[in-house]
Amino acid sequence: MIRDITIGQYFAGDSPLHRCDARMKLALTFAFMIVIFVCGNFFSLGLIALAALALALLSRVPGGMLLRSLRPIVMLVVFTSVLNLLYTTDENTHALLQIPLHFRGWVITVTREGAFTAIFTTVRILCLLLVSSLLTYTTTPSMLTAGLEHLLKPLAKLRVPVAAFAMMMTLALRFVPTLVEETDRIMNAQKSRGSNLETGSLLQRVKAFVPVLVPLFISAFRRAAELANAMESRCYTGTNERTGMKQLRLRARDYIALSAVLLLLGGVVTLNVFFGKIV
Amino acid sequence: MPSPLITFDNVSFHYAVEGESSPAARALSFAVEQGAFVALLGRNGSGKSTAAKLCNGLLTPTAGQVRVGGLDTSLEENLFEIRRRVGMVFQNPDNQIIAAIVEDDVAFGPENLCVAPEEIRRRVDAALAEVGMLEHRLAEPHKLSGGQKQRVAIAGVLAMQNDCIVLDEATAMLDPRGRHDVMDTVLRLNRERGITVLLITHFMEEATQADRVLVMDGGSLALQGTPAEVFAQPEALRAAGLELPAPARLAEALRSVLPSLPSGVLTEEQCAEAIAAALRKGAGA
Ligand SMILES: Nc1ncnc2c1ncn2[C@@H]1O[C@H](COP(=O)(O)OP(=O)(O)O)[C@@H](O)[C@H]1O
Ligand SMILES: [Mg+2]
C-alpha cells in the first residue's frame, strides 16, 4: 500500500503536454487551480471538469494511472461530502430529503445547498488533483525542478538559495522511490519478526512503527553521506555556476496553452456572471 | 615509460584527529601510471576505500602527499581539476545516482563543469553508448538492475572526459551477470580508450586481468607486482586475509597428485591447459 505513493512520478511519453515548457506548465497549473476556485455555478464547474478531462486525454497517460493518483484522497472526498450533505442547514436552505430516525425524534435532513456544496467540493478536489498529477506525469523531475528554479530565480537576488533548493528537490524526487522501497523492506522484516503494524490502538501502532523508523533514518543518513561523496567526486561544490543539458525554451505550443487557459478563465468568469454564483 | 597519473608518497591517514585511532592508511607509496590497469586488493577494513577517497581529495592525507597529474590533493584550488580527471564509482549503485532519469544523471558531471548544453548532450549520448546503456537513457534508475546502474555511474564519469576511473568495490553488490558486464566495460575502456583504471575489489578473478596488483593489509601495502607475481605467493596472500583465485587454488590442490603443475595459474583457460599438459606428461612417463 505504501507503494501507491505517486508523488513526482513521471510517465514517459510524447504528447503535446509532455512537449510543453516546464515553466509554462507550472505557471498554467497554478492558474488552473485559481480558475477551479473562481468557478461559481454548475455551468462553469462543468466547463472546468471538461477542461481537466480534455487535458487528461491530451496527456495520453493511461486512465488507470490517473485513477491511482486520485485514490489516496477518496476517503477525504467521501468524508467532506458527507459532512457537507448533513451539516449545511439553516433557515434559507431547501430540504431535499428527510429521513426520520426513530430515536428521540431526530431527523436527518439533506438540503439542496448541502448537496450542491458536496458536488462542488468533490469536483474541485478531483480536478485539482488531476491537474497537478498531470503536471508530474508529463514533466520529468529534472525539467520540473529546472522550471521551478527558473520561475524562482528573481528570489536569488534576495539571497534565497534557489539553486541549492532546486538541487534538494532533484535529490528528494530521486530518492522517494528508493526510500519507499526501503520502508517496505524494513516493514516486512519487522513483520516477519512478529511485530504487528496493522492492528491495535493508534498508540500501539505508533509504537510499533518506531522499529521501522529507526533503521530507515540510519540508512537515510548513510545514504546521504555516500551521496555527498559521489556528488563531490563529480565536481559539485554547491556554489559553482552550473549549466543544464536540457534548456528550457518557449515555443508556439506554449503560447497556445497559455491562450487556452486564459480562454478557460474568460469562459468561467462569463458563465459566473451570466448564471450567477451559487457557491 | 608512461608518466604516473596518481602518486602516493608516504601517505598516512587517521580518521579521528585525536584519540587512539589506528591509522586507516600508513606509509602508502605507489604510483598508478597513465593508461595502466591496477587492481587493489585487501580484506574488509584493510583501508581500500580510504585509499580510494585519498585519490581524489575526498580525504586528504594526515601525512605524506597524494598527487594527481602533479597536482597536490591537499590544496583546495586543485580539487576541481583533480576530480575532473579522476572519476569515482562507488560500491552502492543506489547512493551515487543523483537524478531520477538516467540521462540527467550522466549529465550531472558535465553540468558541474559548465560544459555547453549541446556538447553535454553529445557527451551523454556517447558515454551511454560506450557502456551499452543508450537505449535506457530515459529509464528511471530504480527500475534498472545493479549492473546497469553501475554502468550508468561509469557513463557519468566518462561524460566528464576524465583520464582515470577509480572503482571502489563497484561489483561487490552485483550478481555474476552484472559483475561480468561491468568488468567487460571497464576492461574495454582501459584497452581501447586508454583510460587509467584503479580497480578495488575482493574478487581475485577480477584482479587477474590487471597489469599490476597491489595488496593492502592493515592500512599498508603488503604485496605488489604483476598478477602472476602476486598470486605466486599464496602464504603472503593468506597472511593478508585473501585467497588465491579459484583456478590457482585448484592447481595448488592438484599439485599433490600432479607435481608437475606449475604455479602462477590464474585463469580458467590457463588452468585447464596446465592440467591437460601435466596429465599428458604423467601418461607419457
Ligand atoms: N568514516 C570513518 N570513521 C572512522 N573510521 C573509519 C571510517 N571509515 C573507515 N574507518 C576505519 O578505517 C579502516 C579502513 O576502512 P576502509 O578504508 O573502509 O576499508 P575497506 O574499504 O578496505 O573495507 C577500518 O578499520 C574502518 O573501521
Ligand atoms: Mg570499502
> Tell me, what's the pLDDT at B86?
96
Q: How confident is the model at residue B71 (pLDDT cuts 50, 70, 90)?
A: very high
Question: To the nearest whole percent, how much of chain A has pLDDT over 70?
Answer: 94
Contact B237, B215 (CB under 8 A): yes
What would the mean pLDDT of B47-71 be, rounded to a whole number? 95
Quick one: CA dihedral B99, B100, B102, B104, positive or negative? Answer: negative
H or E element that contains A97? strand A95-100
Give CA–CA dist A173/A9, Å, rounded.
9
Q: How confident is the model at residue A279 (pLDDT cuts 50, 70, 90)?
A: low
Q: How confident is the model at residue A71 (pLDDT cuts 50, 70, 90)?
A: confident
- Most informative mutation of B50, B55, B220, B221 for ligand 1 (most atoms within 8 A of CB): B50
B-interface mutation test, from A235, A241, A243, most B Cβ less than 10 A away: A235
> Tell me, what's the pLDDT at A1?
42
Mean pLDDT taken over chain B: 91
> Tell me, what's the pLDDT at B122?
97
Question: To the nearest whole percent, how much of chain B has pLDDT over 90?
Answer: 73
Domain assignments of chain A as residue spans, ordered by start: 2-142+151-156+248-275, 162-239
Give CA–CA dist A150/B117, Å, rounded.
16
More confident position, A102 or B166: B166
Give CA–CA dist A174/A85, Å, rounded.
41
The amino acid that residue B112 corresponds to is: N
Residue B22 gets the label, from left (phi > 0), alpha (psi -120 to 50) or beta, of beta
Q: Is the pLDDT reported for residue A4 higher than 90?
A: no
More confident position, B266 or A263: A263
What would the mean pLDDT of B83-102 be, rounded to a whole number? 93
What would the mean pLDDT of B207-212 be, rounded to a whole number? 93
Query: pLDDT tens across B5-15, in order?
Result: 999 999 999 99
Query: pLDDT tens across A13-36, in order?
Result: 899 999 999 999 999 999 999 999
Q: Which residue, among A178, A138, A182, has the nearest Cα to A9 in the 3D structure? A: A138
Contact A109, A95 (CB under 8 A): yes
Quick one: CA dihedral B280, B282, B283, B285, positive or negative? Answer: positive
Give CA–CA dist B178/B198, Å, rounded.
19
Q: What strands lie across the sheet with B71-72, from one edge to the other?
A: B25-33, B4-13, B63-68, B71-72
Mean pLDDT taken over chain A: 86
Question: Which domains are assigned to chain B?
Answer: 4-229 (3.40.50.300), 245-285 (no CATH)
What is A10-74 written as a DSSP string?
Answer: -----SHHHHS-HHHHHHHHHHHHHHHHH--SHHHHHHHHHHHHHHHHHHT--HHHHHHHHGGGH
Q: Is the pLDDT reported for residue B21 higher than 50?
A: yes
Give me the residue label for grid cell 520502508.
Answer: A183
Q: How confident is the model at residue A117 (pLDDT cuts 50, 70, 90)?
A: confident
What would the mean pLDDT of B59-64 be, rounded to a whole number? 94
What would the mean pLDDT of B34-60 be, rounded to a whole number? 95
Q: How many Cβ pairs closer than 8 A exist between chain A and B?
A: 109
Give CA–CA dist B10/B33, Å, rounded.
17
What would the mean pLDDT of A236-253 be, rounded to a whole number? 88
* Most confident segment among A68-77, A244-253, B143-152: B143-152
Give me the residue label for grid cell 500500500.
Answer: A1
SS3 A92: coil
SS3 A234: coil
Question: To the nearest whole percent, how much of chain B has pLDDT over 70?
Answer: 97
Q: Out of A84-93, A198-207, B105-114, B260-269, which region has the weakest mean confidence (pLDDT)?
A: A84-93
- Does the beta carbon of B127 lie inside 6 Å of ligand 1? no
Residue B254 gets the label, from left (phi > 0), alpha (psi -120 to 50) or beta, of alpha
- Judge whether B110 is closer than 8 Å to chain A, CB to CB: yes
Q: How confident is the model at residue A9 (pLDDT cuts 50, 70, 90)?
A: confident
pTM here is: 0.82
Q: Is A159 exposed, middle or buried (0-12, 13-18, 19+ CB in 10 A)?
A: exposed
**Chain A residues touching chain B at CB-CB below 8 Å:** 8, 10, 12, 140-142, 170-171, 173-174, 177-178, 181, 222-223, 226-227, 229-237, 240-247
- Judge whether B98 is closer than 8 Å to chain A, CB to CB: yes
Q: Do the Cβ atoms of B101 and A242 come within 8 Å?
A: no
What would the mean pLDDT of A223-242 be, rounded to a whole number? 92
Grid cell of A65 as nine digits? 494511472
What would the mean pLDDT of A72-93 be, rounded to a whole number? 79
Question: To the nearest whole percent, how much of chain A has pLDDT over 90?
Answer: 41
Structure letter (DSSP) for residue A137? H
ipTM, two decimals, is 0.89
Give me the residue label for grid cell 555516500.
Answer: A226
Q: Do the Cβ atoms of A140 and B98 come within 8 Å?
A: no
> Tell me, what's the pLDDT at B20?
65
- Does the beta carbon of B48 lie inside 6 Å of ligand 1? yes
Distance, C-alpha A23 to centroid of its chain:
17
In sequence order, which residues have a C-beta less than 8 Å from that of residue A116 and are 6 or more positions away?
Answer: A278, A279
Q: Out of A170-179, B39-48, B98-107, which region has the weakest mean confidence (pLDDT)?
A: A170-179
- Does the beta carbon of B80 lie inside 6 Å of ligand 1? no
Q: Out of A214-218, A241-245, B128-132, B168-172, which region has the weakest mean confidence (pLDDT)?
A: A241-245
Distance, C-alpha A237 to centroid of its chain:
32
Contact A268, A39 (CB under 8 A): yes
Query: pLDDT tens across B177-202, in order?
Result: 999 999 999 999 999 999 999 999 98
Give CA–CA dist A59/A53, Å, rounded.
10
Q: Which residue, among A40, A76, A28, A84, has the nearest Cα to A263 in the 3D structure? A: A28
> Tell me, what's the pLDDT at B189?
96
Give CA–CA dist B41/B37, Å, rounded.
13
Contact B61, B31 (CB under 8 A): no
- For the beta carbon of residue B249, count every other beta carbon within 10 angstroms: 16
Q: Quick one: which ligand is closest to B45's CA? A: 1
Where would I find the H helices in chain A? 16-19, 22-38, 42-59, 63-70, 74-87, 112-138, 141-156, 162-192, 202-233, 252-275
Which ligand 1 atom sits nearest the alpha carbon of residue B216?
Answer: 22
- Find chain A residues with C-beta within 8 A of B121's C-beta: 245
